[in-house]
Amino acid sequence: MRALFTFIFVFTFSLQAQVQYDGPADGQITGGYEVSTDDFTTESGMHYGKLKLFNDLSADNYPEGRGGYFGGEKITSSRTLLDDSILVYRSFNGIPDLKVSIPPDPYLACGPEYVIHAVNSRFRISDKEGNTIKTINADDWFANVLDAPNSFDPKVIYDDFENRWVMAWLHLNNNSNESYYLISVSDDENPLGTWYNWAIPGNLNGMTPDGYWADYTGVGFDDKAIYLASDQFTYAGEIFKYERIKIIDKSTLYISSGPAVVQWKDLWNIKYPGTNVTPYMIRPAQMADPSSEYYFLVIEPDSISANKTSVGLYKLSDPLGTPSLTGTTIDVAEYQDPLNPSQMGGGTPLKIWGSNFLNEPVFRNGKLHATHTVANGDLCSVRYLCIKPATNELVSDFVISDQEHYYFYSALDVNTRGDVLITYSRSSANEYVGAFYSVINAYSGLPSSSMMMQSGKARYVKTFGGEQNRWGDYMGVWVDPVDEETFWIASEYTPEENVWGVWVSAIRTELFQEPTYTINTESTDLGLVEIPATAESQALIIRNAGQTPLEIYSMTLNESAFSLNLPVSLPVTLQGYDSLKFTVTFEPAMTGVYSDSIVISSSDQQALRYVSVVGEAFRIMPANGGFLYGSTGSSGGSALIQIDPVTGTGTEIGEHRFSAVTDICIDRGNDEILGLASGASVTNIVRVNSEMGDAWTKVEADALLYSFTITTDGTWFATDNVGILYTINPENGELTEIGNTGILISALAENPLTGELYASLSAGDNKDELYKIDKATGSAQLLGSTGIDNYIDALTFTDDGLLWGAYDKIFQPSTLLLINTDNLDTEEIGSIGIKSVLGLAVTGTLITDVSPEEISDLPSEYKLQQNFPNPFNPVTKIKFQLPESANVLLEIYDMLGRKIATLVNEELPAGYYSKEFDASLLASGTYIYKLKTDNFSASGKMMLLK
């Protein structure tokens, strides 16, 4: 849906109003510390290299050819900007979520050669091709100025007045009443190498303690100083007190060696212009041009009116001498604080901070540009304001909105010509939270539609037990200082359930002079395909972002599982803005991970381009009738096993790909093995391949489930971690509560002869009790004790009504049980020989006349197992089996298809093998292992997390 843009042109010439504040007061600290990026390796788990995570720009929405993704005619200096005149020529994933903090606070700045993007606790230096150079933990970075930094609220700027990078973070320790602004400054325009760090107290006005800590720092700059504006809170109760402005003389920060004295001037307890009311979240400007005045913006305080009709403009003069603050109110169209946005799938709404200015306004060509979020009925809109501070004139006032979506957490920048790019998050009842942007044309003042950087992939609810579902709080936009036609953006989206992501893009509003190859993604994941299945395809679009024709000479692929589908014969010529749409198809014949690169030859300056292509194929084989299956937890290796019902001996079939799969059972509709793989707050109901043990998610349930079974009529039953009995919808994982059992259940199983639901305990004093559970109400009826004095971890019934169980003794393998349902007399069949058997499943009646000794020691088929452990650091094992003598090649590749290591290259006899892979010298990331013989090939994917 195209966004609606409501324009309100209100021309006002407000008079200067008195501003009440305290100060100025002088302050300084002596000494700082030198730090170098050379002292840091890329942080563990962070290095994804070039474009390792995959874009989803919905290429199918953009037709090929002239008027396609770019479309339109050549842009001239006086053109009206059209949607299809906007060029997305770089696009890659930013710093990923470690699932330990909220909100992410993404921010970004761009310099001559590099881009720095940051989230809470980490920052990353990338080149303009998207290659990760360094990802560094901020606490480690500032460890030379504080003993135990707690870094948050990152801001980064590139000051092209002086060609320096500046990072500002905050530190808080409530226990010791500590508050600091953590400041880091590069020694030149190259962010690699030397920086200088300082910790400036956040609880001083000048040099006088105020007893409050600094939060939500805004970071601005001009040709004279760095400006910090922060909200000051009490340590106890976190009560907001007032705003502080800190003016730091750049000459004391921008040094060449030996960090020494840093000097500043403070103004505090600042009131809204013309009132005695304390505003919240004053934002300092980022000044692209020199000016005799420096500017700040703030919204009208709630205590004045819920229906706000003004914004506060502050003007600072003589910042390095005797600073003086004046102000005025700029009349604007009425606005209100918005409600918190919702998203597809519902859940706790996303937290936003009213209509406050969250990101810094930008001053360029005599105009101050700003954006914030305002109410749009029950929805919310992104608002754009343009003010001429010299005359206090409101030039533009409009919102980006429609009647379906929530628009929120916006940020902007403006180039020399005056084009404005605004990025923001967007969601709706039918849309997950994605990263979007709009461009406002300098000459017409008309904006583009709402354009997608990256779509949301899943619902996001992450509260860590609190009430706020934190999102934002910032986004990042920066004009490239050596290419004013390019805007760099870091904006937030949801790549998977309850995980935030940051997508980085480079957006141009003009064509390049030379022929310029661009593609909507440089890596594409064809996803997961079940064999047998129809082929999966994805569309890719090559475009010419240059004024000179681009020749596409050839495109090639090597892996036979992938195929290219071109609408025209090559070579082909693309004029400026023209595009060529084609598809890549994945049709695997065997299970495993497939990877290759499309090699594209063109007349672009970089003659050869590579598009990484990956896909994964799996097969689910049903359970064999008469076999007793078991499933182990992490201490047992997380594997599917086969158990001999005569001796109890277990034999591993293969590993699951999950840390634990519990309470497996048989779906009698297709004889597949299903089980539970629980996460922090959700549970995957997984399908287990009976031949190799690998498990794959079928549906996800929004609860932490402990037990699970499927009854003979096909109903899915489960209980959670507090004993509530549910049914589960097999199609979508939706839970329907039946009732509270009053007990904590470890395992569920239905007697197929009686339809009765049996349960064992996972907690309680009487460990070995068994219960019947009423399917209609959830109530539990005690049957009695089995007498084994241990919790029974797993239960299953055979078709003839025999009840089998398994239990663990501490530090010992699990034991197989046979339980008499008439009197609960329990026979210990024998040790399974494997620890943590947490699930049992069987279909039919058990075959008891074949012992393991009668089974051949040699494998009957080729098989490559999932490496274990996975993820690993830094050593893992790769197991495979050969049914016959074969020439074997086992190799390791990175995600770009480059060979990393050869583990085996020789003829081996039939048998079982385990090869160790040591990745000590490799960066964290995803790798592929491939096994090839004359008659077999397979591959797997593994994750190194240091």
pLDDT > 60? residue 841: yes
Least confident residue range of 106-115, 223-232, 649-658: 649-658
pLDDT > 90? residue 115: yes
The 10s digit of each residue's pLDDT in 266-286 is 999 999 999 999 999 999 999
How many Cα atoms sit within 13 Å of 838 on the Cβ side?
Answer: 25
Q: Are 419 and 27 in contact (CB under 8 A)?
A: no
* Predicted pLDDT of residue 72: 21
Which position has the higher pLDDT, 659 or 63? 659
Q: Per-residue confidence at 59, pLDDT binned at 50, 70, 90?
A: very low
Q: Per-residue confidence at 411, pLDDT binned at 50, 70, 90?
A: very high
pLDDT > 80? residue 255: yes
* Predicted pLDDT of residue 577: 80
Give the helix, strand, coil percentages of the chain, each rounded to 5. 5, 50, 45
The 10s digit of each residue's pLDDT in 615-648 is 999 999 899 888 899 999 865 468 999 998 989 9
> Which residues face 221 on adjacent strands?
226, 286
Q: What is the DSSP letter of 540?
A: E
Query: DSSP 3-state assignment of 658?
Result: coil
Alpha carbons 520 and 537: distance in angstroms, whole number: 15
pLDDT > 80? residue 83: no
CA 398 to chain centre: 31
pLDDT > 60? residue 418: yes
* Predicted pLDDT of residue 363: 98
* Predicted pLDDT of residue 547: 86
In the chain, the amino acid numbered 715 is T
Most confident of 361-370, 530-539, 835-844: 361-370
Listed in sequence order, the residues at least 6 apart from 706 whose beta carbon sits closer than 8 Å to its beta carbon are: 662, 663, 676, 678, 718, 719, 720, 721, 744, 745, 746, 762
The 10s digit of each residue's pLDDT in 547-580 is 899 999 999 998 889 999 999 999 999 998 888 9
pLDDT > 50? residue 686: yes
* Predicted pLDDT of residue 53: 22
> Which residues face 476 on adjacent strands?
490
Listed in sequence order, the residues at least 6 apart from 931 whose beta carbon sits closer than 8 Å to its beta carbon are: 864, 880, 888, 889, 890, 937, 938, 939
pLDDT > 50? residue 78: no
* Predicted pLDDT of residue 853: 34
pLDDT > 80? residue 851: no
* Predicted pLDDT of residue 852: 36
Alpha carbons 278 and 144: distance in angstroms, whole number: 36
* Predicted pLDDT of residue 447: 86
* Predicted pLDDT of residue 635: 52
* Predicted pLDDT of residue 871: 72
The 10s digit of each residue's pLDDT in 891-936 is 999 877 889 999 999 999 888 888 999 998 888 888 899 999 988 9
250, containing H or E segment: helix 250-253
Once rounded to an integer, what is the mean pLDDT over residues 19-47?
Answer: 82
pLDDT above 90 covers what percent of the chain?
65
* Predicted pLDDT of residue 749: 96
The tokens 């598809």 sit on which residue?
583
Q: Per-residue confidence at 170, pLDDT binned at 50, 70, 90?
A: very high
pLDDT > 90? residue 848: no
Query: DSSP 3-state assignment of 852?
Result: helix
Least confident residue range of 36-40, 125-129, 825-829, 870-874: 870-874
pLDDT > 90? residue 475: yes
The DSSP line for 141-209 is: HTTTT-SS--EEEEEEEEETTTTEEEEEEEEEEGGGTEEEEEEEEESSS--SSEEEEEEEESSEETTEE
Once rounded to an integer, what is the mean pLDDT over residues 251-273?
Answer: 92
Mean of per-residue pLDDT scores for the chain: 88
Query: DSSP 3-state assignment of 237?
Result: coil
- CA distances in angstroms from 493 to 59, 294, 426, 519, listed in the order given: 18, 34, 9, 21
Number of C-beta neighbours around residue 547 at 10 A? 17
The 10s digit of each residue's pLDDT in 342-386 is 999 998 999 999 999 999 999 999 999 999 999 999 999 999 999
Report residue 636: phi and psi, to 5°: -100, 5
Alpha carbons 84 and 70: distance in angstroms, whole number: 4
The 10s digit of each residue's pLDDT in 476-494 is 999 999 999 999 999 999 9
pLDDT > 90? residue 303: no
Burial environment of residue 132 by CB neighbours within 10 A (0 to 12, 13 to 18, 19 or more): buried
Joined tokens for residue 317: 């003069």
Q: Per-residue confidence at 599, pLDDT binned at 50, 70, 90?
A: very high
Once rounded to an integer, what is the mean pLDDT over residues 589-600?
Answer: 90
C-alpha dihedral (200, 205, 210, 216), degrees to nearest 10: -60
pLDDT > 90? residue 8: no
The 10s digit of each residue's pLDDT in 810-836 is 778 999 999 999 999 999 999 999 999
